[in-house]
Structure 1
Amino acid sequence: MDKVQAFGKNFSATFSPFATRTQQYVKEQLGQVEDKTELPPDYIELEKRVDALKQVHQKMLQVTSQYSNEAYDYPPNIRESFNDLGRTITEKVHLLSNATTPAEAQAAFTAPPTAKPQPKTFNHAIGRASLASSQLIQRNSAGAGEDPLAIALEKYALACEKVGEARLAQDAQIQSRFLAAWSTTLNTNINFATRARKGVENSRLMLDAAKAKAKHGGAAFSLPGQARGDEHDEEHMTEEQRVEIEQAEDEFVGQTEEAVGVMKNVLDTPEPLRNLADLIAAQLEYHKKAYEILSELAPVVDGLQVEQEVGRHESFAE
């Protein structure tokens, strides 16, 4: 019996504050509250800044989370087969270089996979299409010597694969140094601020409920239009009511000071800006590598084009 009574006391102690806060909140929503404790202007300003920071994180993560999706730039109209994705372009070129007949070349090109399927990125797809096109030309121009376009397409395929690998390296950097960090800020630091603000709101509701209870002589909750108890001014407060209000005020002040500290910490941390710098650095590194790869390829293809033009003019001259 003692255990049952103890449980009842604990349940009442836990439930009563919740019920009091809920009742006060409902009264405010119904317009039954005459006086509501105002939060300091500086505190409200901090809330606005934290809310803005939260929206910034949500908006940026909504877009940049695509870096976690390997195929974010993979054309939806592409239909690549199991063999297309079976080996890397570099592996296929190596096998093709050892082929001595068209049949061996075809076998090398369609060799079974040795590892996981190749990446589905736009650059990898272009590379695979370029290599397949190069082989298509080679197979249909047997005995005519090396075709400049076929050579250029093969070199372009290898370059595209390198660019695609650089893009995957960029994505990995962004995932670990930006997405993970911003998600942590959103789900941890900003959530801490949200909980602290909730503590302030709860303590304010308890304070206003205590004030209302003393002012109206402990009148019960009523719907709009219903009569309330006679109002009591501060002179008619009991000592118990004064103590209750003072304790509620102390709790409210303490919760507010704690929330201010948490919100300032969230707003002052340099992490978001540092993470954004990491995002830009990863993008810069990718575009730099892509530029270097294509800059090395461009003069080679230009040279093949010039050779083709010279050979064409010479054949016409003959």
Structure 2
Amino acid sequence: MDTFKGLQKSLTSLGGQITPFASRTLQYTKEQLGQSEDKTQLPPDYIDLEKRVDALKAVHQKMLAVTSQYSHEAYDYPPNIKETFQDLGRTVSEKVTLLSSATSPAEAQAALTAPPSAKPQPKTFPHAIARASLAGSQTLHQQHTGAGEDPLATALEKYALAMERVGEARLAQDAQIQSRFLAGWNTTLNTNLMFATRARRNVEKARLNLDAIKARVKGTTWKLGGGAGGGAQGGGAAAHDEHELSPEAQEEIEKAEDEFVTQTEEAVSVMKNVLDTPEPLRNLAELIAAQMEYHKKAHEILSELAPVIDGLQVEQEASYRKSRENASS
């Protein structure tokens, strides 16, 4: 037990000599081990702000984990598709233009496998549908031996051109979301909320420093076990009542208290600013606007196409009925 008492006195004496970081670390360790009797409490309003900031951070992390996919072009590209270098070499509209001037199956095939343009074509679902539709159209055209054009081949070519436009609209949506939503929410998460985290850490440092100073000047820097050692320590603490502190010790405590109050007020200001800023909601409105514009554009493109395909289908049905009637007569 004498050994424990000696160690206690050594730690108490050491408390006034160690660095602020070590002092805070020692105080933190005491609290974790249940060795701190007087932990300075934070105001309820401050704790409420911390909870709200934590909730806002969690929301940003969850939303960004999903919406960050808008930064990856191929987020909806089917994984089972195996497109070749030639498939991705030219846009559908470029291939249609080249095909329109082809006068033989060989020229048509050459148009489909023309040298690539400046960059590979986008790997999006609408673009993939467009390329598949055009390839199907040409397969039917090449095998068509009747008069006129194969109606399904014609429809597939028109559908291919429309879906390429839908794909371009999707890319435009993604670019808007990246610049108007993702950039803003990443800034809030990595800058504004980071400032709030830093301010809260400063509060915790100031609090630990204050409590470490209080413990040191009152002679309660550390306790080892219970029993006689604990009782002796408790008696020492009682003998060092706050009213009997030296002017120097009282000044040191007051200085630490002022720093704690200053850091708390600063953190409150920073957290309120993060919580009150309208930027996240404004960014969310931009996300919705970009999605709305894309779906509106896709609707317009397909609305233009649908009557054309319906017309081809009606013509084919009429031709089919006529051929059946002629065959039965």
TM over 0.5: yes
Within 1, Cα distance between the matches of 2:320 and 2:75? 42
Match of 2:173 in 1: 170
Match of 2:191 in 1: 188
Q: Which has the higher mean CA deviation after the structures are superposed, 245-254 or 223-232? A: 223-232
**Per-residue CA distance 1:262-292 (angstroms, 9 max, x = gap):** 0000000000000000000000000000000
Return the offset for 1:314.
Answer: 1.7
Aligned positions of 1:277-296 closer than 5 A? 277-296=285-304
Give me the whole-angstrom Cα distance separating, in 1, the residues matched to 2:172 and 2:100: 28
Output the CA distance in 2 between the equivalents of 1:300 and 1:235: 93
Give me the whole-angstrom Cα distance separating, in 2, the residues matched to 1:116 and 1:257: 55
Structure-2 residue corresponding to 1:152:
155
Deviation at 1:213, TM superposition (A): 1.4
CA contact (8 A) 2:215 2:221 kept: no
Q: What's the TM-score once normalised by structure 2's chain length? A: 0.90
Shift in Å, 1:236: 2.2
Superposition deviation, residue 15 in structure 1 = 7.0
* Identical columns (%): 73
Q: Secondary structure at the match of 1:72?
A: coil
Equivalent positions of 1:14-33 (< 5 A) are: 16-33=19-36
Separation of aligned partners in 2, 1:310 and 1:14: 100
Alignment match, 1:311: 319
2:202 to 199, 202, 217: 199
Aligned equivalents of 1:20, 1:38: Cα separation in 2 = 19
- Residue among 108, 114, 118 paired with 1:115: 118
Alignment map for 1:38-53 (pairs within 5 Å): 38-53=41-56
Residue of structure 1 in register with 2:38 after alignment: 35
Partner of 1:245: 253
Q: Is the 8 A contact 2:35 2:222 kept in 1?
A: no
Tell me the distance in 2 between the aligned counterparts of 1:111 and 1:309. Answer: 36
Kindly report which structure 2 residues correspond to 1:225-244, keeping only aligned pairs within 5 A, or say none.
225=226, 227=230, 229=233, 230-231=236-237, 232-244=240-252
Deviation at 1:109, TM superposition (A): 0.9
Supply the distance in 1 between the matched residues of 2:224 and 2:100 (Cα, whole angstroms).
Answer: 87
How far the C-alpha of 1:317 sits from its partner, in A, is: 2.5
Q: Distance in 1 between matches of 2:137 and 2:18?
A: 76
Counterpart of 1:7 in structure 2 is none
Match of 2:60 in 1: 57
The separation in 1 between residues aligned to 2:243 and 2:257, in whole angstroms, is: 18
> Once the two structures are superposed, what CA deviation does each residue of 1:70-110 show, in whole Å capped at 9, x if it has no partner?
00000000000000000000000000000011111111111
Does 1:276 find its partner at 2:284?
A: yes
- Answering whether residue 70 of structure 2 is matched by residue 67 of structure 1, we say yes
* Partners of 2:216 and 2:241 in 1: CA distance: 11
- Alpha-carbon deviation of 1:152? 0.2
- In the TM superposition, what is the alpha-carbon distance from 1:221 to its structure 2 partner? 3.5
* Residues 196 and 259, structure 1, Cα contact 8 Å, conserved in 2: yes
Aligned partners of 1:26, 1:198: CA distance in 2, in Å? 16
1:262 alignment partner in structure 2: 270
TM-score normalized with structure 1 length: 0.93
Unaligned runs of 5+ in 1: 1-12
* RMSD value, Cα: 1.5
1:313 Cα deviation from its structure 2 partner: 1.5
* Residue number in structure 1 paired with 2:89: 86
Q: Does residue 1:214 correspond to 2:231, yes or no?
A: no
Q: Structure 1 residues 96, 49: closer, same or farther in 2, change over 3 A?
A: same
Tell me which residue corresponds to 1:10: none
Shift of 1:143: 4.9
Give the Cα–Cα distance (whole angstroms) in 1 for the partners of residues 17 and 167 of structure 2.
58
Q: Structure 1 residues 282 and 212 mapped into 2: Cα distance closer, same or farther (>3 Å)?
A: same
Residue 282 of structure 1 aligns to a residue whose secondary structure is helix
Letter in 2 for 1:268: D
Q: How big is the shift at 1:250?
A: 0.3
Provide the C-alpha distance between the structure 1 equivalents of 2:290 and 2:125, rounded to a whole number of angstroms.
18
Query: Do the aligned partners of residues 194 and 224 (structure 1) sit closer, same or farther apart at CA in structure 2, a change above 3 Å counting?
Result: farther
Contact kept in structure 2, 1:30 and 1:224, CA below 8 Å = no
Query: How far apart in 2 are the matches of 1:211 and 1:128?
Result: 74
